């Protein structure tokens, strides 16, 4: 028995040795422009979020109707005092974007982490174990997909009231299915590969097979989806705030700023374009970073 | 295979049952429909009498059992807003959403798959960076914002397409593009990462060593193996698109069932919410079944007992 | 006594604004002229006889989907825009050129009076007119319609809500006369007939509730043609209409729940006229060669305060103190709100919950001046030298710039030390909170006096027994009951003036502004005059094909 177990371990080790250590990966990353960009961009966003009070020229909630909808500094009527102009209530747009980074980043990252965590665990279980557990988990997943998220959000406000935690709750509840189904599909396929069949036939325990052999294979698609989902969650927050569940004003969030600014697409397009660019910048950074992560975590390297 | 389908159908009934229970529970805690439906000047006696007329004076579990027994017979009652049978309304609005979702799906696949394949083959190149970024930018743009921008450019300024509404094929273009960005990026990224994985597998190297044409290798071996996650995603998203197209439907005044359902939720129109949720659920169950059957087709190693 | 108030409500009430603003006399006069039955077919372009045969169409973009076409069951915006074209009301309001109230215009009901018992109202019905399917409009039809609304299980129109608690019964007197009985003397009764829109009884009973909802037959200038749900509603001119004929042959209503799309459709010339144009788009549309028509409608936007004075709805908060409520009125710059946030498309409220388009408007009151120092002083006097923090509920998606105005108030109040913690809800959740008395001490909402242009419904909120009354005050209640039972319009107006003066001091709300109706339309649309009763008067409007 002991000898047979070693067969599985040897197979696993073979893949592990290909990682070649962190030092190599960092070296390698620096040679891929995309990956370096990803690290730099993500770091910049985190930096801005952390230092928002120091970097912001104004109080993000202070309003002054005299400077309402004033354009960015480089436009004809712009002033250097408000580098990106002012919003519909006369608040400094740059300061709001800086402060918005905090909430939006936390919402996006936490929601994806939570949804991803639950989704991956449930997906692995249902794909690997099949049977009743699969029926149950996938049944819940189907029901969840058919469930109007608007109703979910409304009911949660009605019962728990609007709060930051409840925003995460709604986003997690509506976000885990995509991970679960993705992981389950891949698990079903990986489970049939020779070395897992071999490991099972020699009696390696399930948890070990799942963590050492199946999990590494689902990492790639999960990271690909997680990247996208972060941006999604940041945007979803704005939809929630429309239902009264989002982060409450006057706290600035990027999604909320775009949502408010769309009314002014003609008169003051900068109101929605700059926060939009902030989201794109962040998501691009995370995507490039994710591409790098994918390689770091990929067993085949 | 037949057993598998039977099992899935049974599971679907469970799903529907659980769903109806969940929807019912959430609806009943989301506010009193009588206060919401009545004009503001209505006296309290009116609220009480309307509650009674709608059956809200009974305990929740009795309400649910009554609902269930009617639903089993396919009756959802009349929509409280429209005064017309709720299920008929949902079925009347359903085709428009289906049409929109299908068009969006086709657009995303036609653009997304080639982009993902090329990005993977030319990993690290400018094309790769562009493909990756384009997908992300499309995805990071909120659909209401993108939709309005498209309307302003193509309908107001260039005047080449209509702003909104349903009618000829022209009316479908802008909403379909807007909706497709919802998963264009996901397809690009999944195809790209899937291909990159496979291209490093031993058997691909073997194939290269055997001197097979790169095209054959890419298409027959590499691409085929990316299909599992892509199909999962497509099935998932297509099921979701029906419900997730709400914003696109509102921006383009598209007469779809997503808009109908959300409007029903805001009006607390219980029969209409219930009917649309059940129709959504049936659709999603069906889409997932197709996806699972496709797994077996794409990866012969997967067998369903 | 019998003829006591007979038709005196038709009389004109001259107001301060009317005197001040006689300059804008153009449009409404045209409307008024057009309203005189048989006053010539003014709408037809005289110089273009050749195009008479060409069908004219007006395509309108309205604020959202029309959920159902059964006018007896439910009538809420934006469906009412369609309903008013198909269904005449019992009576309608008339206005002077500046939008101030002029009196009532007889429609399906030509005359009314209260009998000696003060609880029986006699209504004379217009003779010789028919529903659009030929059924006669007579006392039987009127009685059936009233009875159906008040006894039906599922009907929930404003007509029913306003009358039901006072309703005793309806009886047919002769072919064209009915009596409506109330359980108390209720001077407002005839005005409720302004909500009365009617269905032909035989047809309704024949096709049933659902059938009528799909294929409605009305009594009005336009007939139903087609309803493609979620897409459009088509109406055509009713050639057999009893009154002055409309000039536009066909009306198409298209739903647009997104403001930006509605405006874009107007610019792309897909629609001729757009309802609810956002104030910020108005200037741009004018520059683009389109026309903007707007008017302040009978809707008072206000910050409602739960005073805690009503034992039925007790709530401890700083605004229990009248000084604090007054301070909150001083702390806001209403002119800045109207001019900056609302873009000039609104009229500040003059320290009362109604505007000049409402009966009983008090011309002697003026808005609380913007005086933040005074506000701080009053707060200190009330024991809040450092201000205070309080919850504030609002919603979005209902009123023009609802979220923006709410956010603006939060920012402005912070400047005098009042920190409002805002929670923005989805509209229905907000309404549910407000009606079930779960809302925060202050919330942002609108109070309507259209379409009656009478304050009865607006002021009812200040009675102790009301469903969501946040005020209970003996002196006020005495006056409120007195005006309700007062049948002499002049005396009633005096009481109403006193009520407004009392409320000015009492401050149950922060008086903000009269909400606007803003329409954008192409230059093809002529003779369109918006009125404060939140409805589009189609008679006299023309569309000129370019």
CA of C401, closest CA in chain B: separation in Å? 18
Q: What is the Cα–Cα distance from A67 to A69, expressed in whole angstroms?
A: 6
Helix (H, G, I), strand (E, B) or coil at C63: coil
Residues 175-234 in A contacting B (C-alpha not used; CB under 8 Å): 177-178, 181-182, 185-186, 188-189, 192-193, 220-221, 223-225, 227-228, 231-232
Q: Answer whether C280 sits within 8 Å of A89, measured CB to CB.
A: no
What does the block give as tokens for B80?
């409280």
The mean pLDDT of C155-176, rounded to a whole number, is 92
**b/e A176-188 (16+ beta carbons within 10 angstroms → b):** bbbbbbbbbbbbb
Estimate to the nearest angstrom the gap between the alpha carbon of A263 and the chain centroid: 27
Local confidence pLDDT in tens for the 305 residues of chain B: 677 778 777 777 778 888 888 888 888 887 788 888 888 888 888 888 888 888 888 888 888 888 888 888 878 888 988 889 999 999 999 999 989 989 998 998 999 888 888 888 887 778 888 877 777 777 777 788 889 889 999 999 999 999 998 888 899 999 999 988 867 877 888 888 788 877 777 777 777 777 777 767 666 667 776 777 788 778 777 776 766 678 889 889 999 988 898 888 888 888 998 898 888 888 877 887 788 788 777 777 666 54
pLDDT at A212 over 60: yes
Mutate to test the interface with B, among A115, A141, A146 (most CBs of B within 10 A): A146
Least CA distance to B96: which residue of chain C?
C230
Altogether, the residues listed in chain C come to a count of 546
Q: Answer whether A138 sits within 8 Å of B129, measured CB to CB.
A: no
C284 touches chain B (CB under 8 A): no
Kindly state the greatest CA–CA separation across chain B.
85
Rg (chain C; Cα; Å): 24
A11-20, A62-71, B75-84, C474-483, range with the lowest pLDDT: A11-20
Least CA distance to B261: which residue of chain A?
A148
> Given B50, B164, B260, which is nearest C156 (Cβ)?
B50
Higher local confidence (pLDDT), C546 or A180: A180
The mean pLDDT of C174-200, rounded to a whole number, is 95
CA of A114, closest CA in chain B: separation in Å? 20
The segment with the largest mean pLDDT, out of A2-6, B229-233, B244-248, C107-111, is: C107-111
> Given B41, B43, B81, which is nearest C158 (Cβ)?
B41
Provide φ and ψ at C67, rounded to 5°: -90, 85
Q: Answer whether B19 sits within 8 Å of A147, measured CB to CB.
A: yes
pLDDT band at A55 (very low <50, low <70, confident <90, very high): very high
> Given C260, C410, C426, which is nearest A243 (Cβ)?
C426
pLDDT band at A118 (very low <50, low <70, confident <90, very high): very high
Task: Identify the pLDDT of residue C100.
Answer: 81
Task: Identify the pLDDT of residue C14.
Answer: 37
Size of interface A-B (CB pairs under 8 A): 184
Chain B residues in contact with C210 by the CB 8 A cut-off are: 78, 83-85
A269 touches chain C (CB under 8 A): no
- Enumerate helices (H) and strands (E) in chain C, giving the number of each: 17, 19
CA of B287, closest CA in chain A: separation in Å? 10
Chain C residues in contact with B263 by the CB 8 A cut-off are: 64-65, 67
Chains that touch A (3 or more CB pairs under 8 A): B, C
- CA dihedral of residues A99, A259, C405, A78 (deg, nearest 10): 60
Residues 425-464 in C contacting B (C-alpha not used; CB under 8 Å): 426-429, 431-432, 435-436, 457, 460
pLDDT at A30 over 70: no
Task: Identify the pLDDT of residue B1.
Answer: 67
Task: Identify the pLDDT of residue B303.
Answer: 62
Element housing B12 (H / E): helix B2-29
Mutate to test the interface with B, among C428, C429, C434, C448 (most CBs of B within 10 A): C428
> Given C74, C161, C257, which is nearest B46 (Cβ)?
C161
Task: Identify the pLDDT of residue C176.
Answer: 96
Q: What is the Cα–Cα distance from B158 to B41, expressed in whole angstroms?
A: 48
CA dihedral (A17, A19, A23, A24) positive or negative: positive
Higher local confidence (pLDDT), C155 or C364: C364
Nearest to C508, CA basis, from C453, C455, C463, C450:
C463
> Given C259, C408, C423, which is nearest A244 (Cβ)?
C423
* Contact (Cβ atoms closer than 8 angstroms) between residue C331 and residue C413: yes
pLDDT at C297 over 80: yes
Residues 241-270 in A contacting B (C-alpha not used; CB under 8 Å): 255, 258-259, 262, 265-266
Residues 195-214 in C contacting B (C-alpha not used; CB under 8 Å): 209-210, 213-214
Helix (H, G, I), strand (E, B) or coil at C234: strand
CA of A61, closest CA in chain C: separation in Å? 7
> Given B132, B281, B302, which is nearest A189 (Cβ)?
B302
A241 touches chain C (CB under 8 A): yes
CA of A237, closest CA in chain B: separation in Å? 11
pTM of this structure: 0.86
Q: What is the Cα–Cα distance from C115 to B253, expressed in whole angstroms?
A: 52
Chain A residues in contact with B205 by the CB 8 A cut-off are: none
Chain A residues in contact with B229 by the CB 8 A cut-off are: 182, 185-186, 221
A88 touches chain C (CB under 8 A): yes
Residues 257-276 in C contacting A (C-alpha not used; CB under 8 Å): 259-260
Task: Identify the pLDDT of residue B243.
Answer: 61
Least CA distance to C411: which residue of chain A?
A63
pLDDT band at C370 (very low <50, low <70, confident <90, very high): very high
pLDDT band at A28 (very low <50, low <70, confident <90, very high): low
CA of A201, closest CA in chain B: separation in Å? 17
CA of B33, closest CA in chain C: separation in Å? 8
The segment with the largest mean pLDDT, out of A206-220, B47-61, C126-140, C458-472, is: C126-140
Sequential DSSP letters for C72-137:
TT---TTHHHHHHHHB--SEEEEE-TTS-EEEEEESSEEEEEE-TTSSEEEEEEPSS-B-TTS-B-
Sequential DSSP letters for B204-243:
HHHHHHTT--HHHIIIIIIIHHTHHHHHHHHHHHHHHHHH
What secondary structure, in 3-state letters, does A92-154 show? EHHHHHHHHHHHHHHHHHHHHHHHHHHHHHHHHHHHHHCHHHHHHHHHHHHHHHHCCHHHHHH
pLDDT band at C342 (very low <50, low <70, confident <90, very high): very high
Task: Identify the pLDDT of residue C490.
Answer: 93
CA of B45, closest CA in chain C: separation in Å? 8
Q: What is the Cα–Cα distance from C433 to C439, expressed in whole angstroms?
A: 5
Q: Answer whether A228 sits within 8 Å of B186, measured CB to CB.
A: yes
CA dihedral (A147, A152, A155, A160) positive or negative: positive
pLDDT band at C49 (very low <50, low <70, confident <90, very high): very low
Q: Answer whether A244 sits within 8 Å of C426, measured CB to CB.
A: yes
pLDDT band at A2 (very low <50, low <70, confident <90, very high): very low
> Given C411, C424, C425, which is nearest A63 (Cβ)?
C411
Place of tokens 């974007």: A97
Higher local confidence (pLDDT), C5 or A173: A173
pLDDT at C24 over 60: no
The mean pLDDT of C324-338, rounded to a whole number, is 96
Q: What is the Cα–Cα distance from B137 to B181, expressed in whole angstroms?
A: 9
pLDDT at C251 over 90: yes
Rg (chain B; Cα; Å): 24
> Given A139, A146, A259, which is nearest B280 (Cβ)?
A146
- CA dihedral of residues A88, A92, A98, A99 (deg, nearest 10): -70
* Contact (Cβ atoms closer than 8 angstroms) between residue C492 and residue C360: yes
HSE-CB at A236 with a 13 A cutoff on CA atoms is 25
The mean pLDDT of A152-160, rounded to a whole number, is 78
Task: Identify the pLDDT of residue C212.
Answer: 93
Q: What is the Cα–Cα distance from C448 to C300, expressed in whole angstroms?
A: 6
Q: Answer whether B132 sits within 8 Å of A287, measured CB to CB.
A: yes
> Given C73, C267, C428, which is nearest B36 (Cβ)?
C428
C154 touches chain B (CB under 8 A): yes
Element housing C282 (H / E): helix C279-287
Nearest to C257, CA basis, from C25, C17, C64:
C64
Chain A residues in contact with B18 by the CB 8 A cut-off are: 139-140, 143
């Amino acid at each position: 028995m002991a000898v047979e177990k070693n067969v599985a371990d040897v197979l696993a080790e073979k893949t592990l040795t290909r990682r070649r250590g962190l030092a190599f990966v960092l070296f390698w990353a620096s040679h891929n422009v995309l990956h370096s960009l990803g690290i730099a961009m993500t770091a910049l966003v985190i930096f801005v979020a952390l230092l928002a009070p120091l970097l912001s020229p104004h109080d993000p909630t202070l309003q002054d109707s005299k400077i309402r909808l004033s354009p960015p500094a480089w436009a004809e009527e712009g002033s250097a005092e408000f580098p990106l102009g002012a919003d519909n209530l006369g608040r400094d747009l740059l300061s709001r974007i800086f402060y918005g980074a905090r909430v939006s980043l936390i919402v996006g990252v936490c929601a994806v982490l939570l949804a991803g965590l639950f989704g991956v665990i449930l997906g692995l279980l249902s794909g690997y174990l099949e049977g009743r557990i699969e029926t149950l988990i996938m049944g819940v997943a189907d029901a969840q997909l058919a469930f109007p998220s608007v109703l979910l959000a409304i009911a949660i406000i009605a019962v728990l009231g609007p709060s930051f935690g409840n925003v995460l709750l709604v986003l997690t509840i509506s976000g885990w299915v995509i991970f679960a189904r993705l992981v389950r599909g891949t698990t079903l396929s990986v489970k049939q590969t020779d070395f897992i069949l071999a490991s099972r036939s020699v009696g390696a325990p399930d948890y070990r097979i799942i963590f050492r052999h199946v999990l590494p294979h689902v990492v790639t698609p999960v990271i690909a989806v997680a990247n996208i989902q972060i941006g999604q969650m940041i945007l979803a927050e704005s939809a929630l705030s429309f239902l009264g569940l989002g982060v409450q004003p006057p706290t600035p969030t990027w999604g909320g700023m775009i949502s408010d600014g769309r009314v002014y697409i003609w008169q003051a397009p900068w109101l929605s374009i700059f926060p939009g660019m902030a989201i794109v910048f962040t998501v691009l950074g995370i995507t490039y970073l994710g591409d790098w992560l994918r390689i770091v975590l990929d067993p085949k390297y | 295979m037949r057993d598998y389908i039977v099992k899935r159908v049974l599971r679907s009934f469970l799903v529907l049952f659980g769903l109806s229970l969940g929807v019912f529970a959430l609806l009943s805690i989301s506010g009193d429909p009588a206060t919401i439906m009545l004009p503001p000047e209505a006296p309290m006696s009116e609220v009480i009498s309307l509650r009674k007329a709608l059956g809200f004076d009974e305990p929740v579990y009795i309400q649910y059992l009554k609902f269930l027994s009617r639903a089993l017979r396919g009756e959802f009652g009349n929509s409280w807003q429209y005064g017309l049978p709720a299920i008929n309304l949902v079925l009347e609005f359903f085709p428009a959403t289906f049409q929109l979702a299908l068009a969006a799906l086709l657009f995303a696949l036609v653009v997304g798959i080639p982009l993902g394949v090329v990005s993977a083959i030319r990993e690290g190149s400018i094309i790769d960076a562009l493909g990756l970024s384009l997908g992300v930018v499309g995805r990071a743009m909120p659909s209401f914002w993108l939709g309005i921008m498209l309307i302003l450019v193509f309908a107001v300024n260039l005047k080449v397409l209509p702003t909104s509404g349903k009618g000829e094929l022209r009316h479908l273009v802008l909403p379909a593009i807007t909706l497709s960005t919802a998963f264009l990026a996901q397809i690009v990224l999944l195809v790209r990462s899937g291909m990159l994985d496979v291209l490093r597998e031993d058997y691909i190297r073997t194939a290269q060593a055997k001197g097979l044409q790169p095209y054959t290798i890419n298409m027959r071996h590499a691409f085929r193996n990316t299909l599992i996650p892509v199909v999962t995603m497509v099935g998932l998203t297509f099921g979701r698109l029906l419900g997730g197209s709400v914003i696109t439907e509102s921006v383009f005044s598209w007469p779809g069932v997503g808009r109908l359902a959300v409007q029903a939720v805001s009006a607390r129109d219980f029969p209409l919410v219930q009917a649309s949720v059940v129709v959504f659920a049936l659709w999603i169950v069906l889409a997932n079944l197709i996806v699972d059957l496709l797994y077996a087709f794409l990866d012969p190693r997967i067998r369903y007992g | 006594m019998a003829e006591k108030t007979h038709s005196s409500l038709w009389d004109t009430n001259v107001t301060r604004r009317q005197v001040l603003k006689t300059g804008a006399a153009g449009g409404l006069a045209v409307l008024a002229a057009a309203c005189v039955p048989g006053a010539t077919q003014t709408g037809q372009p005289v110089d273009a006889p050749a195009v008479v045969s060409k069908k004219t169409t007006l395509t309108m973009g309205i604020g959202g989907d029309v959920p159902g076409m059964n006018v007896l069951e439910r009538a809420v915006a934006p469906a009412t825009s369609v309903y008013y074209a198909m269904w005449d009301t019992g009576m309608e309001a008339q206005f002077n050129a500046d939008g101030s109230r002029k009196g009532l215009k007889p429609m399906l009901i030509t005359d009314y009076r209260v009998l000696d018992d003060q609880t029986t109202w006699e209504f004379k019905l217009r003779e010789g007119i028919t529903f659009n399917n030929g059924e006669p409009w007579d006392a039987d039809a009127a009685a059936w319609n009233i009875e159906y609304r008040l006894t039906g299980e599922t009907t929930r129109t404003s007509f029913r809500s306003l009358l039901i608690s006072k309703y005793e019964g309806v009886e047919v007197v002769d072919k064209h006369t009915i009596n409506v009985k109330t359980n108390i003397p209720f001077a407002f009764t005839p005005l409720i007939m302004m909500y009365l829109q009617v269905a032909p009884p035989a047809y309704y009973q024949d096709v049933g509730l659902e059938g009528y909802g799909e294929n409605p037959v009305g009594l009005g200038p336009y007939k139903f043609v087609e309803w493609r749900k979620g897409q459009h509603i088509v109406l055509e001119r009713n050639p057999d209409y009893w009154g002055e004929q409309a000039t536009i042959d066909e009306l198409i209503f298209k739903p647009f729940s997104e403001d930006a799309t509605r405006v874009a459709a107007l610019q792309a010339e897909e629609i001729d006229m757009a309802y609810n144009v956002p104030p910020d788009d108005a200037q741009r549309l004018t520059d683009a060669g389109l026309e903007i028509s707007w008017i302040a409608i009978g809707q008072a936007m206000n910050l409602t305060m739960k005073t805690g004075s009503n034992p039925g709805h007790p709530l401890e908060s700083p605004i229990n103190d009248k000084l604090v409520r007054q301070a909150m009125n001083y702390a806001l710059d209403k002119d800045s709100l109207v001019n900056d946030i609302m873009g000039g498309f609104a009229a500040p409220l003059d320290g009362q919950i109604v505007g000049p388009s409402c009966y009983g408007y008090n011309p002697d009151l003026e808005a609380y001046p913007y005086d933040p120092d005074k506000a701080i002083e009053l707060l200190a006097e009330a024991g809040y030298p450092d201000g205070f923090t309080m919850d504030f509920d609002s919603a979005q998606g209902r009123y023009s710039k609802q979220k923006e105005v709410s956010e603006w108030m939060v920012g402005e109040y912070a400047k005098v030390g009042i920190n409002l913690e805002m929670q923005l809800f989805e509209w229905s959740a907000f309404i549910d909170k407000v009606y079930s008395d779960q809302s925060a001490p202050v919330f942002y909402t609108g109070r309507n006096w259209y379409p009656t242009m009478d304050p009865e419904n607006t002021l009812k909120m200040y009675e102790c027994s009301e469903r969501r009354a946040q005020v209970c005050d003996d002196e006020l209640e005495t006056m409120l009951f007195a005006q309700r039972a007062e049948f002499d319009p002049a005396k009633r107006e005096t009481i109403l003036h006193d009520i407004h003066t009392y409320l000015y001091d009492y401050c149950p709300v922060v008086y903000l502004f009269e909400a606007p109706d803003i329409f954008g339309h192409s230059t093809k649309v002529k003779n369109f005059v918006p009125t404060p009763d939140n409805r589009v008067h189609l008679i006299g409007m023309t569309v000129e094909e370019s």
